[in-house]
Amino acid sequence: MTIWKFVIENFVEQTIPVPMGSRLLTVQAQGRKVCIWALVNPNQAFVPLTVRIIETGDPIDPFTDLTYLGTYQKFDGEYVGHVFYKWG
């Protein structure tokens, strides 16, 4: 097992490939980028991880199958994104 960093874009929703069985650890802004760190087994096949960024005040379906990962801030707190995810 090792820790990998995945850079995500400031899009509302995106899919990134990660090794099967990965454990998501945190999401944070690093410089101008937003990154997810995960504990991974690099020998596993890659599977899709869907990531959705929701801004403060944006609506979210209460029956969504998304799991909350964390919140990050950019531009000295001028922008706040809340990151949710689902496998597949």
Q: What is the pLDDT of residue 77?
A: 84
- Using the 8-state DSSP alphabet, how is residue 45 labeled? P
**β-bridge mates for residue 29, sequence order:** 34
Task: Give the CA count within 13 Å in the CB-facing half-sphere of 51.
Answer: 26
Q: What is d(CA 74, CA 65) in angstroms, rounded to the nearest whole number?
A: 26
pLDDT per residue over 44-76, tens digit each? Answer: 999 999 999 999 889 888 778 999 999 999 888
Answer whether residue 19 shows pLDDT above 90: yes
Note whether 53 and 87 are within 8 A (CB). no
Tally Cβ neighbours within 10 Å of residue 8.
19
